[in-house]
A and B are shown apart, each in its own frame.
Chain A
Amino acid sequence: MKVPIKVTVNGKVCESEVEPRTLLVHFLREELGLTGTKIGCDTSQCGACVVRLDGATVKSCTCLAVQADGMAVTTIEGLAQNGNLHPVQEAFWDNHGLQCGYCTAGMIMTVTELLQRNPHPSADEVRAGLEGNICRCTGYHNIVKATLAAAETMAAAPASTTATTEATEATGG
Chain B
Amino acid sequence: MTTRLFGSGIRRREDPRLITGQAAYTDDIKLTGLVHAAILRSPHGHARITSIDTAAAAQAPGVLAVYTGADTEGVLNPIPCAWVIPDSDVKAVAYPAIAKDVVRYVGDAVAVVVAENRYQAEDALELISVDYAPLPAVVNPEAALQEGAPQLHEDAPGNQAFHWVAAGGDTDAAFDRAEVVVRDTIIQQKLIPNAMEPRSAIASYLSSMGELTIWNTSQNPHIARFVTCLVTGVPEHKIRVIAPEVGGGFGSKIAVYPWEMIAAFCAMKLGRPVKWTETRSENFVATTHGRDHVEYVEMAATREGRITGVRSVVYAGMGAYLSTAAPGIPTILHGLMYSGPYDIPNIKADIYGCFTNTTPVEAYRGAGRPEATFLLERLVDLLAAELNLDPVEVRRLNLIPKFDDGHDVAIGLTYDSGDYQRALDMALEHVNYGHLRHEQAHQREHGHYTGIGVSCYSEICGLGPSQVAGAVGFGGGLWESATVRFYATGKVNVYVGTSPHGQGEETTFAQIVASELGVPVDDVELIHGDTDNTPMGWGTYGSRTTVVGGGAVALSARKIKDKAVTLAAHLLEAAEADIEYADGNFFVRGAPDQGKTIQDIALMANVAWNMPAGMEPGLEATAFYDPPNFSYPFGAHVAVVSVDPDNGHIVLERYVAVDDCGPQINPMIVEGQVHGGVVQGAGQALWEGAVYDDSGQLLTGTMLDYALPRAHLVPDIETLATETPSPHNPLGVKGIGETGTIASTVTIYNAVIDALRPLGVTKLEMPLTPERVWRAIHQQDHQQDQQQDQQQG
Q: Which residues of A contact B (CB under 8 A)?
A: 19, 21-22, 29-30, 33-43, 45-46, 48, 75-77, 79-80, 85, 89, 92-94, 96, 98-105, 108, 123-124, 126-128, 130-131, 133-144
Which chain A residues border B501 with CB–CB below 8 Å?
A: 100
Asked if residues B280 and A42 are in contact (CB atoms below 8 Å), the reply is yes
Q: Indicate if the CB atoms of B703 and A134 lie closer than 8 Å.
A: yes
17 A-B pairs in the complex with CB atoms less than 8 angstroms apart: A22-B119, A40-B197, A40-B198, A41-B702, A43-B281, A92-B19, A94-B11, A96-B669, A101-B502, A133-B711, A134-B703, A137-B672, A138-B672, A139-B675, A140-B711, A143-B711, A144-B716
Partner of B247, one of A22, A34, A102, A141: A102
Chain A residues near B281 (CB-CB < 8 A)? 42-43
From A22, A92, A103, A108, contact of B196 by CB (8 A): A103
Q: From B15, which residue of chain A is reached at the shortest CB distance?
A: A93
Interface-located stretch among B21-29, B136-144, B392-400: B21-29
Q: A100-B196, A103-B196, A141-B717 are in contact. Are A42 and B279 (CB under 8 A)?
A: yes
Inter-chain CA distance A102–B678, complex, in Å, is 19
> Provided the pairs A46-B703, A77-B21 are in contact, do residues A99 and B712 lie with their beta carbons within 8 angstroms?
no
CA distance A139 to B25 in the complex (A): 22
The answer to whether A102 and B703 touch across the interface, beta carbons within 8 angstroms, is no
Q: Is B710 an interface residue (CB 8 A)?
A: yes
Task: Kindly state the interface size class of chain B when it binds its partner.
Answer: 35 or more
User: What's the Cα separation between A128 and B711 when bound, in Å?
Assistant: 7
* B704 touching A99, Cβ below 8 Å: no
Q: Specify which chain B residues have a CB less than 8 angstroms from the CB of A85 in the assembled complex.
A: 19-20
Q: Which of B15, B247, B671, B677 contacts A92 (CB 8 A)?
A: B15
| Smallest beta-carbon distance A85→chain B, Å | 7
Q: Which residues from chain B contact A30 at a C-beta distance below 8 Å?
A: 117
Q: Give the contacts of B236-283 with A (CB-CB under 8 A).
A: 245-248, 250, 279-281
**B453 smallest CB distance to A (angstroms):** 17
Q: Which of the residues B196, B246, B502 comes within 8 Å of A134, measured between beta carbons?
A: B196
CA distance A101 to B672 in the complex (A): 13
Q: Per-residue 0/1 for B16-51: is the Cβ within 8 Å of any A Cβ (1 yes, 0 no)?
A: 101111111101101000000000000000000000
B118 to chain A, nearest CB (A): 8
| B12: interface (CB < 8 Å) | yes
Assembled-state Cα–Cα distance A79/B18 (Å) = 13
Q: List 7 additional A-B contacts (Cβ < 8 Å) besides A98-B18, A127-B712, A136-B248.
A: A43-B281, A76-B21, A89-B19, A96-B672, A98-B15, A98-B19, A101-B19
Docked Cα-Cα span, A76 to B21, in Å, equals: 6
Nearest-Cβ distance from residue B653 to partner chain A, whole angstroms: 13
A96 touches B19 (CB 8 A): no
Selected from A96, A130, A137, the residue in CB contact (under 8 A) with B12 is A96
Q: Are B196 and A36 in contact (CB under 8 A)?
A: no
- Chain B 588-612 residues near chain A, CB threshold 8 A: none
Residue of B nearest to A22 (CB): B119
Contact yes or no, B668 A96, CB < 8 A: yes
Contact of B716 among A76, A89, A104, A123 (CB under 8 A): A123
B residues near A42, Cβ cutoff 8 Å = 279-281, 702
A126 to B711, CA, bound (A): 8
Known contacts A98-B19, A103-B196, A134-B710; A142 and B675 CB within 8 A of each other: yes
**Chain A's nearest CB lies how many Å from the CB of B773?**
22
Pair B248/A137 contact, Cβ less than 8 Å? yes
**B680, CB-defined interface residue at 8 Å:** yes
10 shortest interchain CB distances as A-B pairs: A36-B21, A102-B247, A100-B502, A101-B18, A139-B679, A45-B703, A76-B21, A139-B675, A35-B28, A99-B502
Complex Cα distance, B680 from A75, in Å, reads 29
Verify A99–B711 contact, CB threshold 8 A: no
Question: A140 — which chain B residues lie within 8 A by C-beta?
Answer: 675, 679, 709-711, 714
- Classify the interface of chain B: helix, strand, loop or mixed: loop
Q: How far is the CA of A78 from the CA of B119 in the complex (A)?
A: 27
* A84, B333: Cα distance in complex, Å: 47
How many Å lie between the Cα of A126 and that of B710 in the bound state? Answer: 12
Q: How far is the CB of B435 from chain A (nearest CB, A)?
A: 24
Given known contacts A36-B22, A80-B20, A140-B711, is B280 in contact with A101 (CB within 8 Å)?
Answer: no
Q: How far is the CA of A124 from the CA of B714 in the complex (A)?
A: 10
Could you tell me the distance in whole angstroms from the C-beta of B681 to the nearest C-beta in chain A? 10
Q: Which residue of B lies closest to A48 (CB)?
A: B196
CA distance A56 to B410 in the complex (A): 61
A-contact bits for B704-736, CB 8 A (1 contact / 0 none): 100011111010110000000000000000000
Smallest beta-carbon distance A36→chain B, Å? 2
- A102 CA to B717 CA in the complex, in Å? 22
B618 close to chain A: CB less than 8 A: no
Contact A46 B714 (CB under 8 A): no
A32 to B702, CA, bound (A): 29
Q: Do A104 and B702 contact each other (CB < 8 Å), given the known contacts A35-B24, A96-B12?
A: no
Interface string of B672-701 (1 = CB under 8 A from A): 100111111000000000000000000000
Enumerate chain A residues within 8 angstroms of B717, measured Cβ to Cβ.
Answer: 139, 141
Chain A residues near B28 (CB-CB < 8 A): 29, 35
Judge whether B503 is part of the interface by a CB distance below 8 angstroms.
yes
Interface pair A40/B679, CB less than 8 Å apart: no
**Chain A residues near B194 (CB-CB < 8 A):** 136
Closest to A76 in B: B21
The closest CB in chain A to the CB of B246 belongs to A100
Cβ contact within 8 Å between A105 and B21: yes
CB distance from B80 to the nearest CB of A (A): 28
CB distance from B112 to the nearest CB of A (A): 19
